[in-house]
Chain A
Amino acid sequence: MVRLINSAFNMLSRRLDGPLSIVIIVLVALGLVVIYSASGGSSFDRAVGQFRNFAVAVTAMWIVANVAPQTLLRLAVPIYVAGLVLLIGVALFGDIRNGARRWLNLGFTSIQPSEIMKIGMPMILAWYFHRKEEGLRVADYAIAALLLALPTGLIMRQPDLGTSILIFASGFFVIFLVGLSWKIIISLSVAFLAFLPFAWGLLHDYQRARIMTLLDPATDPLGAGYHIIQSTIAIGSGGVFGKGWLNGTQSQLDFIPERSTDFILAVFGEEFGLVGNLLLLSLYLVVIGRGLMIALNAPNTFSRLLAGAITLTFMTYAFVNMGMVAGILPVVGVPLPLISYGGTSMLSMLIGFGILMSISTHKQLVAS
């Protein structure tokens, strides 16, 4: 009997990465605790909902982890193409919600195709560079840039600045890791900076307002600056040890908008203080460290690039969200990974981890 349970457990956990699994569980558990507090400390609805999201996402992660990297390699093109087609579909037929065209109604369900691209983008580029193992020419980078720019542009047009930045980042990390020369990186950065004033003209008013607000939140204390002012007050007033779980006055009294989703760090920071924040940073560093180790130990180019890009994208999520809530980055709609309430981001995040785990546990088989 014991042996049966043992072998069942082995069957189930065979493709799971131990350290990653533990940290993910800790982070999600922490998230549940904060979500409960953020929903007023009286209703389990949100926490239970998030647990359900987690259960679904974990299942997906387990399935993906059991998919061999070679299969993932073959799926790269279909996933990317499907995502791109859906994005074009959104641009043409998408539903407008909250002033942005992000959702596509498929008849039976609504999806946000940009979520598919979160996985599709690093996969396609890793796939592309995997095929060009013999040495890369400038033309290859140009094609990669095109693969990167198409979805990014479509998503930016929706408009969804946060997601487009993250998707751009996930693709860029692949190109970066593959060895794009510093010269090009630096000259592209310079070009990008030169382009910024023009980009300013392309931005939507609310996007401009958010950037202006970041520079000086006080200019619009009841409008766009309100988010930042209230979240910095929340975090700052938390002090070193925090006000204690369920005791955050800012959080409990409805001063923080989006407090169980994008701004959940404000609740966390207020109630658990600097100690909590540093713990959170450490947990994220563990995830990133483990992810990069998996990438370094990966057996082939595709796995390596994909694992590295997924990990660095995760890092970007964490940094952008925390930077935004702490008032050093503009407000873009990026959730705090594994903590924020939300099924979609949890799902894409854990699918990413599923890929990491697949790479981590399948390497022996493809080592040669």
Chain B
Amino acid sequence: MIGQALRNREAELSVFRRRVAFAVVVTLILFLILAGRFVYLQVVKREHYHTLAEANRISVAPVVPTRGIITDRNGVVLAANYSAYTLEVTPGKIPNLERALDELGPIVDLQPRDRRRLKRLMEESKNFESLPVKNRLTEIEVARFSAHRYRFPGFEIRARLFRQYPHGEIASHAIGYIGRINDADLKRIETAEQSVNYKGTDHIGKLGIEGSYEHELHGRTGSEQVEIDSGGRAIRSLARTEPISGNNLTLTLDIKLQKVAEEAFTGRRGALVALDPNTGEILALVSMPGFDPNLFVDGIDPVNWDLLNNSPAKPLNNRALRGQYPPGSTIKPFMALLALDSGKRTPEFTISDPGHWMLAGVQRPFRDWKPGGHGMVNLQRSVVVSCDTYYYGLANDLGIDSIHRFMLHFGFGARTGIDIDGEMPGLQPSQDWKMKRFKQKWYAGDTISVGIGQGYWLTTPLQLATATAILANGGKPVVPHLLRDVQDVRSGAKRPHEPKTREPLLIKPEHMALVRAAMVDVTKPGGTAAGAAAGATYSFGGKTGTAQVVGMKQGEKYDEKKVKEEHRDHALFIAYAPAEQPKIALALLVENGGHGGAAAAPIAREVFDYYLTGKLPAPRKPVVSDGPSD
């Protein structure tokens, strides 16, 4: 019995031992599998997982550079940055945005305007973009939101730099504005291979200096490597490449002069370009009415946009660069110069003006603006009294192609090359042009109206100003420009803007002197601008113009009052001062303003007064349009 039990015990023990041995083998195998797995993960695939771990924890965030500041020639700030808190939302993170916005109501003062703008922005952008809900939060709003932040996932408060244009509407067309980057901008950025540099940037220069000098103003985007946790929260900064701020721009504009000029336009539509005739520096670039560029910075809301975009006064249109108008009598000095230069007229050549001019084979006479005519008119007098009859004959003698070739030298019919975008070329007609454009022969009659700046001839105010500057400086072609210098933010060094140069005109100085003398006489008693020049402490040369408005582009609907106003002539004036050593040359146009001498010349006078003597114009009085005209 005991032996049996012992044998059983022995048998049981040996079974147990064998099972333990088996368990040991299994354990070793299992642990070897684990060891193998660890070797696989930590040795074989280590690089792979290392990369994953780094990607897991490191997020590279762009650091947006500070945009360059824009100042006028005297250092007055025209576009600056200021820091403010903005409430932003990533719509893609929020299931019901409308409700979230409703709930935000008591915390942040949301105007219907803010909501409309957000809606518009959402239509234009992708779901994962962070969009501003409300800009410029007050301290109280920031505090209140911070306390309730947990309720609003997807919303975030950010400190942002905003662009500000302290002078509002003044010089808005020259300075332009920045706005949110849209699809078209994105494509342009991609084409320029600037995509990386624009990471994190959500505004871009759209117009004017802001648009054309975007490459100087933007700066170089920096980056920051931040360690993040699994929730995407930044824990600490690992490395940082500082952004390089955009360069500061000094413009050639004199903002005070600009203001004087814009105020002189009060209530009227038009454009004025004033430049330094010796350098082509633009001192004032006016297009009236203007707009407040600050509206565009945060994304313009639909109401204001409609107001600006659908206004019949077209405030968004930069008339100085894009408005193409018949130059009218303002081209008479240039025609006179051509007359002398071509030898078709001598200074002594005199006509007896009956008040009209007949073209052989044409029944209808070409009428002078003054019924009955100006009597005996030589070249000097033709400019001073603006005799149309004199130029009808002259144009006929010159022929269109001769006019065309000569006027190209003064920059007519081609873009001036100003350093902001959007300029229109105007039109300097020729036989070739008409054939190409209308498949029609040029008629002699076409040349006659071109002789007084009508017909097919179209100029922009900028072209006219540039041509005037060339007259004023004695024949040196200048390229008008707005940029004076670029200040490198890092070194502080200023790099002057080098405008393009052109070949000087080969015009005899005595011819030039003759025409300029006639232009000075325009401002003297008996001249068409005598009224505007009365009492000036300096002498200046000028030429009035009155352009007939042919063919209306706007106002298709018939509205008697409106059409009447729009059919009224444009008033033009070109001038330079002082007459002896010109420091400023300008061209200006008042749309439907009537006669150049009455409506346009006084504006030039105010500009000259301020620029040359520092005298500010007297308080505004109602516009009167009488006195000697054209």
Shortest distance between the CB of A312 and any CB in chain B (Å)? 6
Give the residues in chain B near A295, CB-CB below 8 Å: 16, 20
Q: Does A201 belong to the interface (CB within 8 Å)?
A: no
Interface size of A by CB at 8 A reads 48
Tell whether, in the assembled complex, residue A236 and residue B34 are in contact, meaning their CB atoms are under 8 Å apart.
Answer: no
Shortest distance between the CB of B101 and any CB in chain A (Å)? 28
Interface residues of A in 324-342 (CB under 8 A from B): 326-328
Tell whether, in the assembled complex, residue B227 and residue A249 are in contact, meaning their CB atoms are under 8 Å apart.
Answer: yes
A304 vs B14: C-alpha distance in the bound complex, in angstroms? Answer: 12
A322 vs B20: C-alpha distance in the bound complex, in angstroms? Answer: 22
Known: A236-B45, A236-B46, A328-B37. A255 touches B229 (CB 8 A): yes
Of the 9-residue stretches B52-60, B241-249, B314-322, which lies at the interface with chain A? B52-60
A323 vs B29: C-alpha distance in the bound complex, in angstroms? Answer: 13
Give the residues in chain B near A177, CB-CB below 8 Å: 16, 19-20, 23
A347 vs B50: C-alpha distance in the bound complex, in angstroms? Answer: 37
Task: Bits for B38-70, please: 1 = Cβ < 8 Å to A, else 0.
Answer: 110111011011101110110000000000000
- Interface residue tally on B, bucketed by range: 35 or more
Tell whether, in the assembled complex, residue A250 and residue B53 are in contact, meaning their CB atoms are under 8 Å apart.
Answer: yes
Tell whether, in the assembled complex, residue B34 and residue A312 are in contact, meaning their CB atoms are under 8 Å apart.
Answer: no
Nearest residue in B to A134 (C-beta to C-beta)?
Answer: B8
Give the residues in chain B near A234, CB-CB below 8 Å: 53
Nearest residue in A to B52 (C-beta to C-beta)?
Answer: A233
Shortest distance between the CB of A322 and any CB in chain B (Å)? 5
Known: A284-B31, A295-B20. A236 touches B49 (CB 8 A): yes
Give the residues in chain B near A135, CB-CB below 8 Å: 8
Tell whether, in the assembled complex, residue B30 and residue A319 are in contact, meaning their CB atoms are under 8 Å apart.
Answer: yes
Q: Does A315 belong to the interface (CB within 8 Å)?
A: yes
Tell whether, in the assembled complex, residue A239 and residue B43 are in contact, meaning their CB atoms are under 8 Å apart.
Answer: yes
Give the residues in chain A near B20, CB-CB below 8 Å: 177, 292, 295-296, 308
Give the residues in chain A near B16, CB-CB below 8 Å: 177-179, 295-296, 304-305, 308
Tell whether, in the assembled complex, residue B50 and residue A237 are in contact, meaning their CB atoms are under 8 Å apart.
Answer: yes
Nearest residue in A to B230 (C-beta to C-beta)?
Answer: A255
Q: Does B235 belong to the interface (CB within 8 Å)?
A: yes
Interface residues of A in 228-265 (CB under 8 A from B): 230, 232-240, 249-250, 253-255
Tell whether, in the assembled complex, residue A237 and residue B46 are in contact, meaning their CB atoms are under 8 Å apart.
Answer: yes
Tell whether, in the assembled complex, residue B56 and residue A255 are in contact, meaning their CB atoms are under 8 Å apart.
Answer: yes
A322 vs B32: C-alpha distance in the bound complex, in angstroms? Answer: 12
A254 vs B48: C-alpha distance in the bound complex, in angstroms? Answer: 20
Q: Does A21 belong to the interface (CB within 8 Å)?
A: no
Q: Pick the residue among A133, A274, A323 that contacts B12 (CB under 8 A).
A: A133
A368 vs B104: C-alpha distance in the bound complex, in angstroms? Answer: 83
A258 vs B50: C-alpha distance in the bound complex, in angstroms? Answer: 21
Nearest residue in B to A298 (C-beta to C-beta)?
Answer: B16
Q: Does B159 belong to the interface (CB within 8 Å)?
A: no
Q: Does A301 belong to the interface (CB within 8 Å)?
A: yes
Q: How many residue pairs bridge A and B at CB < 8 Å?
A: 133
Q: Does B231 belong to the interface (CB within 8 Å)?
A: yes
Nearest residue in A to B22 (C-beta to C-beta)?
Answer: A176
A133 vs B5: C-alpha distance in the bound complex, in angstroms? Answer: 9
A240 vs B53: C-alpha distance in the bound complex, in angstroms? Answer: 15
Q: Does A278 belong to the interface (CB within 8 Å)?
A: yes
Give the residues in chain A near B228, CB-CB below 8 Å: 253
| Residue in A176, A253, A296, A304 with the greatest tally of chain B CB atoms within 10 Å | A253
Task: Bits for A144-173, please: 1 = Cβ < 8 Å to B, else 0.
Answer: 000000000000000000000000000001
Tell whether, in the assembled complex, residue B49 and residue A253 are in contact, meaning their CB atoms are under 8 Å apart.
Answer: no
Q: Does A285 belong to the interface (CB within 8 Å)?
A: yes
Give the residues in chain A near B5, CB-CB below 8 Å: 133
Interface residues of B in 204-242 (CB under 8 A from A): 227-231, 235
| Residue in B12, B39, B53, B227 with the greatest tally of chain A CB atoms within 10 Å | B53
Known: A236-B50, A296-B20. A277 touches B31 (CB 8 A): no
| Residue in A133, A269, A274, A308 with the greatest tally of chain B CB atoms within 10 Å | A274
Q: Pick the residue among B17, B31, B48, B53 that contacts A285 (CB under 8 A).
A: B31
Give the residues in chain B near A16, CB-CB below 8 Å: none
Give the residues in chain A near B229, CB-CB below 8 Å: 253-255
Shortest distance between the CB of A188 and any CB in chain B (Å)? 16
Give the residues in chain B near A224, CB-CB below 8 Å: none
Q: Does B563 belong to the interface (CB within 8 Å)?
A: no
Q: Does A288 belong to the interface (CB within 8 Å)?
A: yes
Tell whether, in the assembled complex, residue A278 and residue B53 are in contact, meaning their CB atoms are under 8 Å apart.
Answer: no
Q: Does B513 belong to the interface (CB within 8 Å)?
A: no
Q: Does A273 belong to the interface (CB within 8 Å)?
A: yes
Tell whether, in the assembled complex, residue A269 and residue B42 are in contact, meaning their CB atoms are under 8 Å apart.
Answer: yes
Known: A249-B53, A254-B229. A322 touches B41 (CB 8 A): no
Q: Does B27 belong to the interface (CB within 8 Å)?
A: yes
Give the residues in chain A near B235, CB-CB below 8 Å: 253
Known: A234-B53, A236-B50, A277-B42. A254 touches B34 (CB 8 A): no
Q: Does B15 belong to the interface (CB within 8 Å)?
A: yes
Tell whether, in the assembled complex, residue B12 and residue A236 are in contact, meaning their CB atoms are under 8 Å apart.
Answer: no
Known: A236-B45, A254-B230. A176 touches B19 (CB 8 A): yes
Shortest distance between the CB of B392 and any CB in chain A (Å)? 83
Interface residues of A in 259-302 (CB under 8 A from B): 269, 273-274, 277-278, 281, 284-285, 288-289, 292, 295-296, 301
Shortest distance between the CB of A181 and any CB in chain B (Å)? 10
Give the residues in chain B near A312, CB-CB below 8 Å: 23, 27
Tell whether, in the assembled complex, residue B41 and residue A240 are in contact, meaning their CB atoms are under 8 Å apart.
Answer: no
Nearest residue in A to B20 (C-beta to C-beta)?
Answer: A292
Tell whether, in the assembled complex, residue A239 and residue B42 are in contact, meaning their CB atoms are under 8 Å apart.
Answer: yes
Tell whether, in the assembled complex, residue A237 and residue B52 are in contact, meaning their CB atoms are under 8 Å apart.
Answer: yes
Task: Bits for A176-191, please: 1 = Cβ < 8 Å to B, else 0.
Answer: 1111000000000000
Tell whether, in the assembled complex, residue B43 and residue A240 are in contact, meaning their CB atoms are under 8 Å apart.
Answer: yes
Give the residues in chain A near B17, CB-CB below 8 Å: 296
Q: Pick the residue among A179, A236, A249, A253 that contacts B41 (CB under 8 A).
A: A236
A82 vs B431: C-alpha distance in the bound complex, in angstroms? Answer: 115
A327 vs B88: C-alpha distance in the bound complex, in angstroms? Answer: 41
Known: A177-B16, A177-B20. A133 touches B8 (CB 8 A): yes
Q: Pick the residue among A239, A285, A304 that contacts B50 (CB under 8 A).
A: A239
Nearest residue in B to A254 (C-beta to C-beta)?
Answer: B229
Give the residues in chain B near A133, CB-CB below 8 Å: 5, 8-9, 12
Apart from A178-B15, A254-B229, A255-B57, what are 4 other A-B pairs with CB-CB below 8 Å? A177-B19, A232-B41, A236-B48, A296-B20
Q: Can you list 21 A-B pairs with a CB-CB distance of less than 8 A?
A: A133-B5, A177-B16, A177-B23, A178-B16, A235-B49, A236-B45, A237-B49, A237-B50, A239-B50, A240-B42, A249-B56, A250-B57, A274-B42, A277-B35, A277-B42, A278-B38, A281-B31, A284-B31, A292-B24, A296-B20, A319-B34
The 10 closest A-B pairs by CB, nearest first: A236-B49, A237-B53, A179-B15, A236-B41, A274-B42, A254-B229, A237-B49, A253-B229, A277-B38, A255-B230
